[in-house]
């Protein structure tokens, strides 16, 4: 769109954005998000925190499914592992939370390596089934190892105190989540600019061609699993802290579906799309609750009775509708709107 705008160097070509307004607005949005928790009511704040945590987890899945093209139905397993890897050392053995966060990333990353091994031989459907099996095995293992994890009783997790800063209030905790989410977003965006990220995209687009170009498929697939599991594990730890209680029930299988729905709704293969999808999917149940409220108190009562089920149905319907009618996702819609804005009244 910005015509007559030529890039003369590689760094200029792969910059995250060469537009000053984009950087300024992103900075302003960041400041606003950092200050907003202190001005919001508790209800709105809970949605902000959920969006930040879900976004982090979805970016984790984005590295694997969006960038590398490996379907995972087992990301809830990584979330669970991350939450327990944080909760067990910190809440049971009293280790410092920073170390807990390290474990929350490292333990799922190791598990990611194990799950990644079959992916060296399997594609598509078979990998989806393997990761599905992994999610079930993980939750059964956690119940089995009750000497470590307290089994079905769950573990109560306190809010952390990191580097002398207390994150006990929701607003402070939102800032912590914002920090993690922004760091993750930056890492994922920069991954796309790097040699590794381009290799992952090559693996997604055509693995045989990628291999012919000299990309080590085994190493890059395992790297994708490792990174993805690490990020997802951190998100799981944050979610556990936010719930202040870690148990199997807190991480239903629906979360795997939710993460995939985010990627599809946002637009597969784009970090920005993942962010848009997260906002959409997290706010969808609330938006539909308000819509049901307009239909009258009878409908609202029905909604509150079957909240979990209606959420599931919404996710399912949204996935089918987007795949059917707008496979490019919200990002594609956004591009259309932008083009219309720039070119109107001409068509192009």
Partner 1 sequence: MQYLVDQIVSGIAVGAIYGLIAMGLALIYKSTGLANFAQGEMAMLIAYIAWTLAGLMPGHPWLVVGGALVASVVLGLAIERLIMRPMLGEPVFATVMVTIALAVILRAGAMLIWDPYPHALDIGIGRGVVMLGATGLREAQLAAILTLMAALAGFWAFFRYSRIGKAMRAVAADSRAAQLMGISAARIHAIAWTASAVIAGLAGIFFALLYDVSPNLYHVGLKSFPATILGGLDSVLGSGFGGVLIGVAENLAGGYLASSIKEIAGFIVIIAVLMIRPFGLFGERDIERV
Q: Which residues bind partner 1 (CB under 8 A)?
A: 69, 71, 73, 117-118, 121-126, 128-130, 132-134, 136-137, 140, 143-144, 207-208, 211, 217, 254, 257, 260-261, 264, 268, 306, 308-313, 315-317, 319-320, 323-324, 327
Minimum CB distance to partner 1 smaller for 174 or for 222: 222
- Provide the minimum distance between the beta carbon of 61 and partner 1 in the complex, in angstroms, as a whole number: 13
Nearest alpha carbon to residue 158 among 208, 91, 96, 214: 91
**Three-class DSSP labels, 143-185:** HHCHHHHCHHHCEECCCCEECCEECCCHHHHHHHHHHHHHHHH
Q: Containing H/E element for 237?
A: helix 217-243
CB of 218 to partner 1, least distance (A): 10
Provide, rounded to whole angstroms, the least separation between the CB of residue 271 and partner 1: 18
Residue nearer to partner 1 on the CB measure, 25 or 126: 126
CB of 133 to partner 1, least distance (A): 4
Q: Are 76 and 188 in contact (CB under 8 A)?
A: no
Residue 79: φ, ψ to 5°: -60, -45
Shortest Cβ 278–partner 1 spacing (Å):
17
Considering the complex, state which of residue 201 and residue 257 has its C-beta at the smaller distance from partner 1: 257
Cβ(72)–Cβ(255) below 8 Å: no
Nearer to partner 1, 130 or 270 (CB): 130
Instruction: Enumerate residues 6+ apart whose C-beta is below 8 A from 127.
Output: 70, 71, 72, 118, 119
- Which residues share a beta bridge with 155? 246
Please report how close the Cβ of residue 54 comes to partner 1 at its closest, in angstroms.
Answer: 17
Neighbours of 328 (CB within 10 A): 17
> Is the CB of 96 or the CB of 118 nearer to partner 1?
118
Q: Which is nearer to partner 1, 293 or 306 (CB)?
A: 306
DSSP code, position 253: T
Q: Are 105 and 49 in contact (CB under 8 A)?
A: no
Q: Which of 185/310 has CB closer to partner 1?
A: 310
Answer whether 128's CB lies under 8 Å from 71's CB: yes
Nearest Cα neighbor of 170 from 89, 70, 242, 93 is 242
Q: In whole angstroms, how close is the CB of 292 to partner 1 at the nearest point? A: 13
């Amino acid at each position: 769109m910005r015509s007559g705008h030529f890039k003369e160097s590689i760094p200029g070509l792969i910059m995250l954005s060469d537009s000053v307004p984009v950087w300024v607005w992103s900075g302003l949005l960041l400041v606003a998000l950092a200050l907003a928790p202190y001005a919001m009511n508790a209800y709105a704040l809970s949605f902000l925190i959920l969006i930040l945590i879900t976004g982090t987890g979805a970016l984790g899945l984005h590295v694997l499914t969006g960038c590398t093209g490996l379907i995972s139905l087992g990301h809830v397993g990584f979330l669970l592992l991350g939450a327990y890897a944080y909760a067990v050392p910190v809440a049971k053995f009293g280790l410092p939370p920073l170390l807990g966060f390290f474990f929350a990333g490292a333990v799922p990353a190791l598990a990611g390596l194990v799950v990644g091994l079959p992916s060296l031989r399997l594609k598509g459907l078979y990998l989806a089934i393997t990761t599905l099996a992994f999610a079930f095995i993980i939750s059964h293992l956690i119940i089995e190892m009750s000497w470590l994890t307290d089994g079905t009783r769950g573990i109560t997790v306190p809010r952390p105190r990191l580097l002398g800063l207390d994150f006990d209030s929701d607003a402070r905790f939102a800032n912590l989540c914002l920090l993690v989410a922004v760091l993750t977003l930056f890492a994922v965006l920069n991954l796309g600019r790097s040699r590794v990220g381009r290799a992952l995209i090559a693996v997604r687009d055509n693995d045989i061609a990628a291999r012919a170009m000299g990309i080590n498929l085994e190493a890059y697939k395992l790297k994708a699993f490792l990174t993805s599991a690490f990020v997802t594990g951190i998100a799981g730890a944050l979610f556990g802290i936010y719930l202040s209680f870690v148990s199997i029930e807190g991480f239903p299988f629906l979360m795997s579906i939710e993460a995939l729905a985010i990627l599809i709704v946002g637009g597969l293969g784009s970090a920005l799309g993942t962010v848009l999808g997260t906002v959409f999917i997290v706010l969808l149940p609330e938006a539909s609750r308000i819509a049901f409220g307009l239909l009258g108190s009878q409908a609202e009562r029905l909604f509150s009775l079957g909240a979990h089920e209606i959420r599931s149905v919404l996710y399912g319907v949204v996935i089918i509708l987007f795949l059917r009618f707008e496979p490019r996702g919200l990002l594609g819609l956004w591009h259309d709107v932008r083009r219309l804005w720039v070119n109107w009244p001409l068509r192009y």
